[in-house]
Structure 1
Amino acid sequence: MSQAPHTNKQRSGAFVQLMELPLFLLIFGVASVSMLVPALHGGVARNLDTARMFFYCAILGLTIFTLIAIAHAGRRQRNGALGSLMSLFATFVFLPAFLAIPFFEGLGTTTFLNAYVEMVSAVTTTGATLFEQPERLNSTLHLWRAQVGWMGGAVMWIAASAILAPLNLGGFEVTAQAEPGQREARSSLIDRADPRERLLRVTGALLPIYIGLTVLLWVLLMISGDASLVALSHAMSVMATSGISPVGGAEFARSGATGEALMLLFMFFALSRLTFSSDTITATQGGLRTDPEFRLGIVLIVGVPLILFLRHWLGALDVAAEDDLEQAWRALWGSVFTVMSFLTTTGFASADWAQTQAWSGLETPGLILMGLALIGGGVATTAGGVKLLRVFALYLNGLREMERLVHPSSVSGAGSETRRLQRNGAFIAWIFFMLFALTLAVLTVLLALLGVSFEDALVLSIAGLSTTGPLTTFAADTPISLVQLSPYAKAVFCAAMVLGRLETLAIIALLTPDLWRD
């Protein structure tokens, strides 16, 4: 009995020493442990060769983690903002090289570069795949793709509040009273805690929610008729907005419209962070009712499908066979689900999406899907794109400028809609939009120079920067085969995905002198 306090003290000290390790090393350790999941699944599913690869890589990763942890024992790490941001950058650039090893060895019929691109696509929640035929991968490899995407989404959920919010990045620069890339004032509540303490607090608060929502959707999809692996993969993909599927997409799932309805409900968590947390400066006193991101998202989800639906009559289309209630409902539902999916950068298409195209008369509405993906979801969610809050800031600024044309001497009032935005929020949002547009232009030109057609280069650039990989299938006239790209084009596409996940402002912030002095 007398040794119990001493034992607890030793455990507490070991935990503190563990948390003093570099953040990227901790993520590497978690990734190594996570490989035991597909190893166990492979053993149960009798994919023994694949299971052995994951088990060996897990042991290798844990050995490397232990050796580096021992080497860092007793050292006081610099827990400044630069270290956390650099760890986040390394997670999306260097970690996929380790994650690709069991995928490459387990598949055995592809190159390591293809495996690396696949893992970058998964961990950045892009969801673009080089393996167009799902049957080419066994069930264990499909689980690993979905699992990596899910873990990448969890990293962004946590990093948004613990890393990006204190630096006013990732959309927070529109609301924070500081310059992008600069730390908040010392009086700010979010900056008072040590970065590691803040990271622990945010992880403890958000990770159970993330896991619980995933499990709930998994169970609901299985009840709706999906197989266990398909339900789990789609649940992970919806929560991470990765769009990864072991059957080629939600339209091939057995749960049908019921499963799509369930997934649509859980996609609302990607419209605004207020749907699951109020831990950041984006919170409003009125909740979702006054949240501009959520309201703008609802407007798009309702407005775009209605336009597609009404075009059936506005375009005077002669498709009398489809003029019945069932076909009309299927067309409307297909557009609602698909619009919601691409707005949140998930990228699932409804099984009735083909009916929507026939109803509206738009055979390849790729521009609509790309536009929705570019807008993206909410700030500090797993969704990519420009983000709804930045679009809302530009919209308010446009209204104000038109008002001044009519009443040049008018003074703008600080209404409830502008409370989340700082005075220069529209200006900062415009800077980000210009950086986004310039990056899109540069990536498109680079891909075109590397032999990709201009249309495909544009689609690939938008898919990477908005982290909406399924655009490569639905946005172009014919699906883009990523595996046929040259090695240099694949490298550019990887860069686009990393830039889309971290955003250009975060990359620029890494060069800020104040972070290096921390």
Structure 2
Amino acid sequence: MRLRGILRILGLLICVFSVTLLPPAAVAIIYGDGGGTAFALAFAISLFIGFLVWYPNRKEHSDLKVRDGFLLTVLFWTVLGMVGVMPLWFAEELPLSFTDAVFESFSGLTTTGATVIQGIETLPHSLMFYRQQLQWLGGMGIIVLAVAILPMLGIGGMQLYRAEIPGPQKDTKMTPRIADTAKHLWYIYVALTAACAVAYHLAGMSWFDAISHAFSTIAVGGFSTYDASMGYFDSSTINTICVVFLILSSINFAIHYASITGRSLMSYVRDPEVRAFLGIQLTLIAIVFITVLAHREFTSTGTAFNQAMFQAVSISTTAGFATTDFASWPLFLPIMLIFASFIGGCASSTAGGLKVVRVVLLFRQGVRELNRLVHPAGVYSVKLGNRILPARVVEAIWGFFAAYALVFVVVMLGLLATGLDDITAFSATAACLNNLGPGLGDVAANYATIPDTAKWLLVIAMLFGRLEVFTILVLLTPTFWRS
């Protein structure tokens, strides 16, 4: 384990992250909201911490190994989450306890979208912007951004990339060099953000709201500058724009790249994961629309369809935006949508959940086992498109599913032990492990009232969900620490 090399890189990355505290400070100056002091102080402290971690190890230039990449990734997200606490904790306009500040910071950085803040629209513009920016940075993964700049610092990035994007296709690179891959990911990410912001503004949002909501939409995060979330705008056009960009952001960014470079939409048509994802979305929209129409939740068919489409896509892609109190709908719908959030979006997208490709392969593996029961001597393969997957990949996905289920059960039991009721505990665990945000019961709108112990458990669940379980669990194995 190259601990000094890891500390050197971590110190540099903290210094880089400290720079992201300057835009909210600039927003404070522009709007004169008095919130700049907290960000200036947080910037100075985080820069100093980064320097202290980097300076004693500045001459350590050993290459990262795979194990180092896993440890650095977990350290990076944990440390940055704690650094991100400072502006929220220092702000006089936002009297949060340390636990609440930690919860809000990690919820933003992991793009979970769960909040403990009430009266969001009364906050200074700088704090509102900061919450949205946290999600935007966490959406693609600050590690991927770091991969793009690490070569400038003389550090290789492949190990970080593998740890950040685990999955059946994690070793597939869009370009020969990993730094170029990360840069192309960010080009697409920034372009989608800009297009989304312009669309929101043309639909009636102010530029501040348009940029802020574009940040959380492309990150599939769910934070808003209003307590009522997207419902504040009461606009079917804005709802539709949000749905379009949520779907785009939930598709594998490598597919976007292939479509752009190939100047053809056939990349989406040919990809089995995209087809499955779109099929799931259309099915959910149809079910929700038919149900709300049958229960006469809305006065017109057009409104019913728009609301059904928005809520189905928002919850199932793990964004968690709201336009209405979906928890008050027939219980079948919110429970179904929370279960749909376990599927989430495509691999290498900004959405959370198990990821569509894993669910598809789990389903096909299940079908293969059923066929084997009928024809024990038969030879059946698990395919992704036209490609037969090695047994090792299928085994890894089953292992991932088992680990995901284990973490879910442990966290939910922990929440029940803190005194939460069963619906609240179940939905809060699902919402945070899937990086969804809103739940049911006591966490339908806000997490402020649950015990502090429950909040810390949910912060852990957010990290497990964002780093896709294995990245953290591997650190708990004795094998990892053996030299």
TM range (shorter): 0.7 to 0.9
CA drift of 1:222 comes to 0.9
Report Cα offsets for 1:369-395 as digits up to 9, x if no partner. 211111111112221111101100011
Which of 249, 254, 259 does residue 274 from structure 1 map onto? Answer: 254
The whole-number CA distance in structure 1 between the counterparts of 2:297 and 2:128 is 42
Please show how residues 449-460 of structure 1 align to structure 2 within 5 Å. 449-460=417-428
Residue 276 of structure 2 corresponds to residue 296 of structure 1: yes
**Percent identity for Structure 1 against Structure 2:** 25
Counterparts of 1:450 and 1:138 in 2: how far apart (Å)?
33
Determine if the alignment matches structure 1 residue 333 to structure 2 residue 329: no
- Structure with higher Rg: it is 1
Cα pair distance change 1:57/1:169, threshold 3 Å: closer
Counterpart-to-counterpart distance in 2, 1:288 and 1:157: 26
- For 2:474, the equivalent position in structure 1 comes to 509
Q: Does 2:237 match 1:258?
A: yes
- Structure 1 residues 265 and 420: CA distance shift in structure 2, 3 A: farther
TM-score where L is the length of structure 2: 0.85
Q: Do the aligned residues in 1 keep the contact of 2:243 with 2:314 (CA within 8 Å)?
A: yes
- More displaced stretch, 406-415 vs 106-115: 406-415
Work out whether residues 341 and 436 of structure 2, in 8 Å CA contact, stay in contact via their aligned partners in 1.
yes
Q: Point out the more displaced range, 19-28 or 99-108.
A: 19-28
In the TM superposition, residue 144 of structure 1 has moved relative to its aligned partner by 0.5
Q: Could you tell me which residue of structure 2 aligns to residue 53 of structure 1?
A: 38
State whether residues 344 and 384 of structure 1, in contact with CA within 8 Å, keep that contact through their aligned partners in structure 2.
yes
8 Å Cα contact 2:69/2:159 also seen in 1 = yes
Pairwise CA distance, 1:399? 2.5
TM-score (norm 1): 0.80
State the Cα distance separating 1:69 from its structure 2 match.
3.9
2:27 corresponds to 1:41:
yes
Cα distance in structure 1, aligned partners of 2:230 and 2:298:
23
User: What does the per-residue CA deviation read over 1:303-342, in whole Å, with 9 as the maximum and x for residues that have no partner?
Assistant: 12222333468x6x6x5995xxxx2232122222222222
The one-letter code of the counterpart of 2:227 is G
RMSD of aligned residue pairs (Cα, Å): 3.4
Equivalent residue for 2:65?
80
Say if 2:142 is the partner of 1:143: no
Mind listing any 5+ residue stretches in structure 1 that lack a counterpart? 1-18, 177-183, 280-284
Query: For the Cα contact (< 8 Å) 2:212–2:225, is it kept in 1?
Result: yes
User: Are residues 251 and 437 of structure 1, via their aligned partners in 2, closer, same or farther at CA, if it must alter by over 3 Å?
Assistant: same
Residue 498 (structure 1) aligned with residue 460 (structure 2): no
Verify the 8 A CA contact 1:218 1:231 in the aligned structure 2: yes
Contact 1:128 1:468 in 2 (8 A): yes
Amino acid at match of 1:459: S
For 1:478 and 1:148, the matched residues in 2 are separated by 21
**Please, which moves more after superposition, 204-213 or 414-423?**
414-423
Counterparts of 1:238 and 1:381 in 2: how far apart (Å)?
12
Task: Check whether the contact 1:154–1:240 (CA below 8 A) recurs between aligned residues.
Answer: yes
Q: Distance in 2 between matches of 1:445 and 1:414?
A: 35
Q: What is the aligned partner in structure 2 of residue 11 from structure 1? A: none
Note if 1:307 corresponds to 2:287: yes
Distance 1:209 1:38 in 2: 23
> Partner residue of 1:98?
83
What residue is the counterpart of 1:124 in the other structure? 110
Task: Give the residue type in structure 2 aligned to 1:509.
Answer: V
Name the CA shift for 1:73/1:408 in 2 (closer, same or farther; >3 Å): closer
Deviations 1:48-81 (A, max 9, x none): 2x11221222133234434544433332244222
Preserved CA contact (<8 Å) 1:218 1:235: yes
- Aligned position for 2:360: 392
Change (3 A) 1:253 1:25: farther
Per-residue deviation, 1:115: 0.8
Change (3 A) 1:63 1:260: same
Q: 1-side partners of 2:160 and 2:370: how far apart? A: 33
Aligned to 1:467: 435
SS in 1 for 2:441: coil
Would the aligned equivalents of 2:352 and 2:434 in 1 still touch at CA under 8 Å? yes
CA distance in 2, matches of 1:403, 1:165: 37
| Structure 1 residue 400: Cα displacement | 2.4
Task: Tell me if structure 1 keeps the 8 A contact 2:109–2:134.
Answer: yes
CA separation in 2, counterparts of 1:305 and 1:430? 29
Unaligned runs of 5+ in 2: 148-156, 260-264
The CA deviation string for residues 376-424 of structure 1, in whole angstroms up to 9 with x for no partner, is: 1111222111110110001112232333445444433676625273334
- Please name the residue that 1:158 is paired with: 144
Check if 1:381 corresponds to 2:366.
no
Establish whether residue 89 from structure 1 lines up as the match of residue 74 from structure 2.
yes
Indicate conservation of the 8 Å contact 1:80/1:515, yes or no: no
Matches within 5 A, 1:205-244: 205-244=184-223
Relative distance call for 1:219 and 1:428 in structure 2 (3 A) is same
Tell me the equivalent position of 1:114: 100
1:357-436 alignment, distance < 5 Å: 362=330, 365-412=333-380, 417=385, 419=387, 421-436=389-404
SS in 2 for 1:94: helix
- 1:210-236: CA deviations, max 9, x gaps? 222212211221111112221112111
Matching residue's letter, 1:135: E
